[in-house]
Amino acid sequence: MNWRTRSGESWGRLDMKFETMKIADLVSEISMGPFGSNIKVECFVGEGIPVLNGSNLDGFTLKEDSFRYVTKEKADSLGKANAHRGDVVITHRGTLGQIVFIPQDSLHDRYVISQSQFRVKCNEKILPEYLVYYFHTRIGQHKLLSNASQVGVPALARASTTFQAIEIGVPDLENQRKIVRLLETIRQKVKVNNAINDNLAA
């Protein structure tokens, strides 16, 4: 399998056995964000449980530069719209193609997803990091966006249902960990190089 990013950068060919599986067989839970009427402007407070938006889903892992917050009581009332460490969060309306995982060292232990997102909890067959990296490849993005509608606000039709029907190649857990370590090493090197270039430009 040849892993290649959306921008065309190749991560090389990985020769190992991949089993084709549906997302439905790889997740233990999938939940849509709350209706917009459930989080109104007056619900936001100065601190509490952070509410995610598109800017938090830019990249592979959750970005925590800025948040709006709701109270713990409000977050509790939203039930399955709460995301936790290890969960995968996906945009289904607006900036399509965004998919991140919440790392174990995140700033908060839970978040509320927005009405434009849905979240996934992986089962024991797949690492959340592997799932996210897969959907950042060209073929992963193609599959993720295959049911996108561009009429009005871009959106994925029947987002949670169509996502679960997607088939992807999955190696065993040991090889998933090897792939994740390799890609994470490359990602960190790119991050460091970009920081150096930014400093030089400044």
List the domain range (segments joined by +) for residue 156: 2-201
Helices and strands (H, E) in the chain, number of each type:
5, 14
Sign for the CA dihedral angle at 123, 128, 130, 136 comes to positive
User: In this predicted structure, what is the pLDDT of residue 27?
Assistant: 98
The band of 91, judged by pLDDT with boundaries at 50, 70 and 90, is very high
User: In this predicted structure, what is the pLDDT of residue 5?
Assistant: 54
pLDDT in tens, 7-21: 554 545 556 899 999
Neighbour tally for 92: CB within 10 Å: 24
Average pLDDT, the chain: 90
- The whole-angstrom separation of Cα 3 and Cα 14 is 8
Give the closest residue to 58 by CA, choosing from 92, 96, 113, 23. 96
Extract the runs of DSSP E, i.e. beta strands, from the chain. Answer: 2-4, 10-13, 19-22, 27-32, 49-51, 68-70, 82-84, 88-91, 99-101, 110-112, 117-122, 148-149, 155-156, 167-170
- The whole-angstrom separation of Cα 36 and Cα 48 is 19
Residue with tokens 């992807």: 168
User: In this predicted structure, what is the pLDDT of residue 4?
Assistant: 60
Give the closest residue to 127 by CA, choosing from 84, 172, 166. 172
Q: Report the SS3 class of residue 198.
A: helix
- The whole-angstrom separation of Cα 86 and Cα 193 is 27
Q: Is residue 76 pLDDT above 60, yes or no?
A: yes
Count: domains in the chain: 1
pLDDT in tens, 136-193: 999 999 999 999 987 889 999 999 999 999 999 999 999 999 999 998 888 778 777 7
Range in 8-12, 44-48, 102-106, 164-168 with the lowest mean pLDDT: 8-12
- CATH number of the domain where residue 36 is located: 3.90.220.20
